[in-house]
């Protein structure tokens, strides 16, 4: 223990302040750790690996993207979930129509790439996200969407 002479009349206040700061730091680190575990899904129920594709053999989907596979679907879904959720909540595919998604995806990819300081969403990645959203139901025309 340090002699009171070193701190004069402030010795008790300093020690109390130090203990309070130490307690708050410990509490902050515990909350931060719990938040990180929670954000990573380690504490809550495990999210499904992939959402069920509506129907990959749907004639409109296969006409638009011949040979579209579950592997391609899952790759697009993973990119959409990991990259798009970095900046905002994920939007349902049906929120926008095909031409709107076709315009927005490259804009958002450009923002994500700038923010990351490198190319995290490539042209192929943009196409994978677009196809995933199409398979999820964004392939509606403007007429179908307005009803």
Both 75 and 108 in one domain: the answer is: yes
Is residue 75 in some structural domain? yes
Task: Name the pLDDT band for 30 (thresholds 50, 70, 90).
Answer: low
CB-based contacts of 135: which residues, under 8 Å, 6+ apart? 53, 54, 56, 58, 61, 68, 73, 76
Query: Can you tell me whether residue 92 is helix, strand or coil?
Result: coil
- Average pLDDT of 73-78? 92
pLDDT at 29: 61
Is residue 50 in some structural domain? no
Task: Name the pLDDT band for 80 (thresholds 50, 70, 90).
Answer: very high
For the chain, percent helix, then strand, then coil, each to nearest 5? 65, 0, 35
Is residue 47 in some structural domain? no
Both 106 and 67 in one domain: the answer is: yes
pLDDT > 90 in the chain, percent: 33
Domain of residue 113: give its range: 59-145
pLDDT at 3: 53
Task: Give the H or E element holding residue 5.
Answer: helix 4-7
Both 34 and 63 in one domain: the answer is: no
Task: Name the pLDDT band for 77 (thresholds 50, 70, 90).
Answer: very high
> pLDDT tens digits for 86-114?
889 999 988 899 999 999 999 999 999 99
Closest CA to 144 of 113, 104, 99: 99
Both 81 and 136 in one domain: the answer is: yes
Distances (CA, A) of 105 to 17, 76, 126, 130: 51, 12, 6, 7
pLDDT at 139: 58
* pTM greater than 0.75: no
Both 124 and 64 in one domain: the answer is: yes
């Amino acid at each position: 223990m340090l002699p009171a002479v070193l701190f004069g009349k402030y010795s008790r206040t300093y020690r109390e302040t130090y203990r309070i700061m130490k307690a708050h730091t410990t509490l902050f680190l515990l909350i931060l750790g719990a938040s990180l575990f929670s954000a990573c899904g380690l504490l809550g129920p495990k999210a499904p690996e992939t959402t069920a594709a509506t129907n990959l053999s749907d004639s409109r989907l296969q006409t638009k993207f011949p040979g579209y596979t579950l592997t391609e679907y899952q790759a697009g879904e993973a990119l959409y979930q990991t990259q798009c959720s970095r900046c905002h909540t994920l939007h349902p595919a049906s929120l926008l129509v095909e031409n709107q998604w076709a315009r927005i995806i490259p804009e958002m990819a450009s923002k994500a790439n700038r923010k990351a300081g490198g190319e995290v969403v490539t042209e192929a990645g943009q196409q994978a996200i677009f196809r995933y959203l199409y398979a999820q139901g964004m392939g509606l025309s403007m007429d179908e969407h307005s009803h």
